Chains A and B, each alone.
Chain A
Amino acid sequence: MNPAIEIRDVWFGYDGPAILENVSLTVDQGEFLGIVGPNGSGKTTLLKLMLGLLEPGQGRVRVLGRAPSEARQAIGYVPQFAGFRRDFPISVQETVLLGRLGLAPAVGGYSKADREAAEWAMSEVEVIEFRKRPLSALSGGELQRVLIARALASEPQLLLLDEPTANIDLRVEKDIFDLLKQLNTRTTVVVVSHDIGFISRYVTRVACLNRTLVCHTTAEITGEVIAQLYGRPVRMVRHVAPAQGDRGP
């Protein structure tokens, strides 16, 4: 079986100093990988390389054994919040249907299979009851679920999420990660986050990025690793989640 993602010796920079240096990373199918790092560490850039939206300056990126641009159809992508305007005139259902592009007929409307897949995706993330609502009427957490439904509508083998919980409160953040954990039973999940303490309780492995891959571990993230990652000691708050059982210190 091909690894879900294979990144080898990748360098990247936007006409300037390197943003990513010598990054190598393999993600096996079925993994739940968290990519963490400070702002400007190249997390989003790495994700865009996986999507084939950017080409590496040096090195190689393979997704599901193919070039990223060819594997895109099998990737469900959840971009950061800021990618579009909140007041765009579009309903929840229509937004989720956009996830069917590439599978839907090239011209004209959506097929019955597209509508069913969108319906399934909306019930999967529990947004089906407000399918008719405009996007502008949703809360941050609801909108994030809709974006995950849009990614799921193509029934992807690989789910890539960029800061899915950046603008929502902690309680909703936990709901979203519980949902991702559940989706991980069927798909490979890669999630980019700045919230290192929170994420490490859900993922099977963490990749710490700061221009290059600083660490790469399945173990608990320690203060030492964080200091190495951020270049200085960082005060870390351990969240205690009763539902998850005791994994505290």
Chain B
Amino acid sequence: MSEFLDALLAHGFLQNALIAAILAGVGCGVVGTFVVVKRIGYLAGGIAHTVLGGMGVAYYMGADPRIGAAFAAIVAAMLIGWISLRWKQHEDIVIGALWATGMAIGIVFISRTPGYNVDLMSYLFGNILLVSPSDLVVMAGLDAVVIALVALFYKQLVAVCFDEEFARVRGVRVDAIYLLLLCMVAVTVVSLIQVVGLILVIALFTLPAAIAGQYVASVGAMILVACGLGAVFGVSGLALSYATNLPSGATIILLAGIVYLISLALTRLAYRRIVRCQGR
């Protein structure tokens, strides 16, 4: 651990990685909480994977892949949202098709790009050590946008996640809030590609929020705990990957997954003990 701290002081790229881990944790905590309580993990996964299509096209055209990613993410969010609102019964099939098609488009365009071949693995699984200062500015900006939106529309977001029909009766524009939520998912996916990649991002959305949900009983508290957990997983996963020379994104996700399983076992055990005590 002290080795990591020494290296941290010595190397700028590690400092960048550390800040990126914290920013990623915060973004995921905020948006992931809504993904978990609204149970749209599959939709979020669809948005994340479709992003590769946009990145591939942008890369082929010689543009910044981040621009392509942002464009594809928003288009995917609106498309998936629209499908989910209009054809609820076909939702899973259409999202599955979009998910795979998006990735296929990305891979085809990347393979057709002449010259130096991009490191596809870093799009898919991230590389936190390559985060640049300009990436950090983008991440901080996107985090700020998401936090501001949640602060403004917290009531409506909770109402739509909790009871859509009642929200509609109370005059909430349910469809607009739902699409806003999916756009926040899209924006956060884009900001996380560099950190954990678009395949692993779904775990960072769901695991910290799911752990938080086992201990607190309000959406607001869930957001705070999930942000904290996300940042802790990011930083400790980074340190662990540095010490063991393992890929950073995968290490962060494995750490979150293990903690989730332990937490799940502990809460089940505690619940059983309560039931047994009451039984006596």
Q: Cβ of B153 < 8 Å from any Cβ of A?
A: yes
B218 touches A72 (CB 8 A): no
Q: Report which of B154, B163, B168, B171 forms a contact with A73, defined as CB distance below 8 A.
A: B171
Q: Report which of A51, A91, A98 forms a contact with B159, defined as CB distance below 8 A.
A: A98
8 sample A-B contacts, Cβ–Cβ < 8 Å, listed by A number: A79-B163, A79-B166, A89-B37, A97-B155, A101-B155, A101-B156, A101-B171, A104-B155
| Chain A, range 57-106, C-beta contacts under 8 Å to B | 72-73, 75, 77, 79, 83-84, 88-91, 94-95, 97-99, 101-102, 104
CB-CB under 8 A from A95, the residues of chain B are: 162
* Residue in B162, B218, B219, B222 whose Cβ sees the most chain A Cβ within 10 Å: B162
Q: How far is the CA of A154 from the CA of B161 in the complex (A)?
A: 20
| Chain B, range 221-277, C-beta contacts under 8 Å to A | 221-222
Known: A94-B158, A108-B151, A110-B155. A75 touches B169 (CB 8 A): yes
By a beta-carbon cutoff of 8 Å, the part of chain A in contact with chain B is 51, 53, 72-73, 75, 77, 79, 83-84, 88-91, 94-95, 97-99, 101-102, 104, 107-110, 134, 136, 150, 154
Q: With CB as the reference atom, state the residue of chain B lying closest to A72.
A: B169
| Chain B, range 138-191, C-beta contacts under 8 Å to A | 151-156, 158-159, 161-163, 165-172
Give the shortest distance, in Å, between A42 (CB) and chain B (any CB): 17
A98 touches B158 (CB 8 A): yes
CB-CB under 8 A from A150, the residues of chain B are: 166
Q: With CB as the reference atom, state the residue of chain B lying closest to A73.
A: B171
* Residue in B151, B167, B168 whose Cβ sees the most chain A Cβ within 10 Å: B168
Known: A88-B37, A89-B37, A98-B159. A51 touches B218 (CB 8 A): no
* Residue in B151, B162, B166, B218 whose Cβ sees the most chain A Cβ within 10 Å: B166
Give the shortest distance, in Å, between A101 (CB) and chain B (any CB): 4
B163 touches A84 (CB 8 A): yes
A109 touches B163 (CB 8 A): no
Q: How far is the CA of A89 from the CA of B223 in the complex (A)?
A: 11
CB-CB under 8 A from A110, the residues of chain B are: 155
CB-CB under 8 A from B171, the residues of chain A are: 72-73, 101-102
Q: How far is the CA of A154 from the CA of B166 in the complex (A)?
A: 12
Q: Cβ of B10 < 8 Å from any Cβ of A?
A: no
Q: Cβ of B217 < 8 Å from any Cβ of A?
A: yes
A90 touches B218 (CB 8 A): yes
Q: Cβ of B213 < 8 Å from any Cβ of A?
A: yes
Q: Report which of B37, B165, B172, B213 forms a contact with A79, defined as CB distance below 8 A.
A: B165
CB-CB under 8 A from A94, the residues of chain B are: 158, 218
Known: A98-B155, A107-B153. A89 touches B213 (CB 8 A): yes
Q: How far is the CA of A104 from the CA of B37 in the complex (A)?
A: 23
Q: Cβ of B61 < 8 Å from any Cβ of A?
A: no
B170 touches A102 (CB 8 A): yes
By a beta-carbon cutoff of 8 Å, the part of chain B in contact with chain A is 37, 151-156, 158-159, 161-163, 165-172, 213, 216-219, 221-222
* Residue in B166, B169, B213 whose Cβ sees the most chain A Cβ within 10 Å: B169
A101 touches B218 (CB 8 A): no
Give the shortest distance, in Å, between A152 (CB) and chain B (any CB): 13
B154 touches A98 (CB 8 A): no
Q: Report which of B165, B170, B217 forms a contact with A99, defined as CB distance below 8 A.
A: B170
Q: With CB as the reference atom, state the residue of chain B lying closest to A160.
A: B169
Q: How far is the CA of A134 from the CA of B214 in the complex (A)?
A: 13
Q: How far is the CA of A98 from the CA of B159 in the complex (A)?
A: 6
Q: How far is the CA of A83 from the CA of B163 in the complex (A)?
A: 6
B169 touches A53 (CB 8 A): yes
Q: How far is the CA of A79 from the CA of B163 in the complex (A)?
A: 10
A101 touches B170 (CB 8 A): yes
* Residue in B154, B165, B213, B217 whose Cβ sees the most chain A Cβ within 10 Å: B217
Q: With CB as the reference atom, state the residue of chain A lying closest to B36.
A: A89
Q: With CB as the reference atom, state the residue of chain B lying closest to A76.
A: B169
CB-CB under 8 A from B37, the residues of chain A are: 88-89
Q: How far is the CA of A53 from the CA of B172 in the complex (A)?
A: 13
Q: How far is the CA of A102 from the CA of B166 in the complex (A)?
A: 11
Known: A53-B165, A99-B170. A109 touches B217 (CB 8 A): no
B218 touches A83 (CB 8 A): no
**Given A53-B165, A154-B170, 7 additional A-B pairs, CB 8 A:** A89-B216, A90-B158, A90-B218, A97-B155, A98-B163, A98-B170, A109-B155
Give the shortest distance, in Å, between B168 (CB) and chain A (any CB): 6
A90 touches B165 (CB 8 A): no
CB-CB under 8 A from A83, the residues of chain B are: 163, 165-166
CB-CB under 8 A from B165, the residues of chain A are: 53, 79, 83
CB-CB under 8 A from B159, the residues of chain A are: 98, 101
Q: How far is the CA of A150 from the CA of B170 in the complex (A)?
A: 11
CB-CB under 8 A from B167, the residues of chain A are: 98, 101
Q: How far is the CA of A113 from the CA of B227 in the complex (A)?
A: 32
CB-CB under 8 A from B153, the residues of chain A are: 107
